[in-house]
Amino acid sequence: MNRNLAILFACQLLCVASSIVIFTLGGIVGAHLAATPALATLPLSVMVVGTALATVPAAAFLQRVGRRLGFSFAALAAALASLVAAYALERGSLALFSFGAFVIGANNAFVQQYRFAGAESVAPAAASRAISFVLVGAIGGALLGPRLAVWGDDSGVAAYTVPMLRLAALYGVVAVLALGIRQTPSDIARASHRAPRPLRQIVRQPAYIVAVLAGVLGYGLMTLLMTAAPLSMHRADGHSLAAAAAVIGAHVTAMYAPSLVSGYLIDRLGVVRIMTSGCVILAVAVAAGFMGREVLHYGASMILLGVGWNFLYVGGTSLLVRTYRATERTRAQALNEFSVFGSSALASLLSGTLIHFFGWDTLLVAALPLIAAMLLGLLWIRDDPLAGARQRDSLPDAARPGAAGVRSAGPPVKPAE
């Protein structure tokens, strides 16, 4: 635990709570403001697209101004966007509300960088646990978010306007908290004159490829099924909206609750084993979906989907941060984030169409080749890429291979060197 991790934990909690408010009310507000039902989900779609489009600019901006000012500026922009959304509700403007949702989505691209900041705020051997700790903040966000979305029994404009004002306050708190983030060793090393390697050399590493694959397939599959599940439950199988909301709430909790232990499991069992377990859990989630169409079946499938996603996401991030030097982090992280959230945006946009034309079972079948591709990637790096690095990081400086007076049986294990 250190100061940076505590701040990042709090910021993660508040930002996830705010995003859940938008996900909860976005479609309802869209239906209230749109001239046609076909545009009801427009605010949610542009929010996801905003995240995808902002991934590369966010990484470049953070490199230029630093994480402290960058995170604070992004949160302040989201606070102003929340006020714009509240004003849009008063004016009855779907376009203006969607613009606010887009900016909030762009802030989420900065929020995704919190886990990298956490990993770089501790010793390399503790990176997996730091990533997990930052993500655990989302559990509090999952509990707080639905409560922030409700404003008494009022069914008028105030029912939606007041939650937007609450978001502005939360993002304002995040903007202030982020100013307390301190420089990390990676920030200092980034200022060195050591020339970064070409990007093509970084992305050719098997560990980097598999890390990105974990994010792309894990996030894409999770978004595809999570977005489709409420539509299938309510429209195709006649379950209540309350039941669909409860299933999604359980899913979001299951996405982040394993972070309490996933970092420690990676340290103990190895990243490849944990990511492989994630794939197996995803396959069981698909099997649960095939077993029936009752709320219990949907609930079991979504909970398992969340756990499997967590193991892949935390494992993939732990793998990724070992593949580049401090001077290379901006490009390496930006490419990963764009790939991951580009696939997520595509899955979100396609989900409604696919569930309408092909149905829930077809989406479950489509998930199986993605899981198989991930397992093949893990087979490619079946020797744990983090094991040697963890062993080196756990040694005192004087006892590390290559140190003065210490004989080495071979070159030190230094991923990204």
* Residue 399 maps to a domain: no
Looking at the structure, do residues 226 and 124 belong to the same domain, yes or no? no
* Residue 332 maps to a domain: yes
pLDDT value, residue 279: 96
The owner of tokens 């084993």 is 273
pLDDT value, residue 405: 35
Other Cβ atoms within 10 Å of 47 Cβ, number? 25
* Residue 408 maps to a domain: no
Looking at the structure, do residues 235 and 161 belong to the same domain, yes or no? no
Helices (H), 124-270: 127-148, 158-178, 185-190, 199-203, 206-231, 241-256, 259-269
pLDDT value, residue 175: 96
C-alpha distance from residue 175 to each of 7, 88, 111, 212, 403 (Å)? 11, 23, 12, 29, 43
* Residue 300 maps to a domain: yes
Residue 299, domain extent: 201-384
* Residue 274, both tokens: 């944990």
Global confidence as pTM: 0.74
Name residues whose C-beta falls within 8 Å of residue 70's C-beta, 6 or more positions apart in sequence. 58, 61, 62, 110
Looking at the structure, do residues 53 and 141 belong to the same domain, yes or no? yes
Residue pLDDT, tens place only, 355-376: 778 888 988 999 999 999 999 9
Taking the C-alpha atoms of residue 241 and residue 245, their distance in angstroms, rounded to an integer, is 6
Using an 8 Å Cβ cutoff, are 323 and 317 in contact?
Answer: no
The owner of tokens 């979305």 is 149
pLDDT value, residue 98: 92
Taking the C-alpha atoms of residue 98 and residue 46, their distance in angstroms, rounded to an integer, is 7
pLDDT value, residue 185: 65
Using an 8 Å Cβ cutoff, are 339 and 215 in contact?
Answer: yes
HSE-CB for 411 with a 13 A CA cutoff:
4
* Residue 414 maps to a domain: no
Using an 8 Å Cβ cutoff, are 374 and 217 in contact?
Answer: yes
Looking at the structure, do residues 103 and 228 belong to the same domain, yes or no? no
Taking the C-alpha atoms of residue 378 and residue 353, their distance in angstroms, rounded to an integer, is 31
* Residue 397 maps to a domain: no
Q: What is the largest CA-CA distance in the chain?
A: 76
Looking at the structure, do residues 94 and 153 belong to the same domain, yes or no? yes
Looking at the structure, do residues 228 and 356 belong to the same domain, yes or no? yes
Looking at the structure, do residues 167 and 206 belong to the same domain, yes or no? no
pLDDT value, residue 407: 34
HSE-CB for 413 with a 13 A CA cutoff:
14
DSSP of 51-80: HHHHHHHHHHHHHHH-HHHHHHHHHHHHHH
* Residue 73 maps to a domain: yes
HSE-CB for 297 with a 13 A CA cutoff:
16
Domains in the chain: how many in total? 2
pLDDT value, residue 36: 75
* Nearest by Cα to 135 from 47, 20, 261, 245: 261
Using an 8 Å Cβ cutoff, are 186 and 329 in contact?
Answer: yes
DSSP of 97-138: HHHHHHHHHHHHHHHTTHHHHHHTTS-GGGHHHHHHHHHHHH
* Residue 139 maps to a domain: yes
Looking at the structure, do residues 94 and 229 belong to the same domain, yes or no? no
Looking at the structure, do residues 256 and 160 belong to the same domain, yes or no? no
Using an 8 Å Cβ cutoff, are 244 and 293 in contact?
Answer: no
pLDDT value, residue 69: 95
pLDDT value, residue 189: 58
Total residue length of the chain: 417
- Quick one: 146 exposed, middle or buried, by C-beta within 10 A (0-12, 13-18, 19+)? middle
pLDDT value, residue 387: 56
* Residue 152, both tokens: 């008494």
Name residues whose C-beta falls within 8 Å of residue 385's C-beta, 6 or more positions apart in sequence. 206, 207, 271, 272, 319, 322, 415
63: domain CATH number is: 1.20.1250.20
Tens digit of each residue's pLDDT, the chain (417 residues): 589 999 999 999 999 988 888 877 777 787 788 777 667 667 877 888 898 889 889 988 998 898 999 999 999 999 999 999 999 998 989 999 999 999 999 999 999 899 889 888 888 888 888 888 998 888 888 788 877 877 655 556 677 888 899 999 999 999 999 999 988 766 665 555 567 888 889 899 999 999 999 999 998 898 888 878 877 887 778 888 678 777 877 888 899 889 889 888 998 889 999 999 999 999 999 999 999 999 999 999 999 999 999 999 999 998 998 888 878 888 888 888 888 888 887 887 777 677 778 888 988 999 999 999 999 999 998 776 665 554 444 444 444 433 333 333 333 334 444
Looking at the structure, do residues 352 and 233 belong to the same domain, yes or no? yes
Torsions phi, psi for 197 (to 5 deg): -75, 160
Using an 8 Å Cβ cutoff, are 160 and 29 in contact?
Answer: yes
Looking at the structure, do residues 230 and 337 belong to the same domain, yes or no? yes
Looking at the structure, do residues 38 and 178 belong to the same domain, yes or no? yes
DSSP, res 144: H
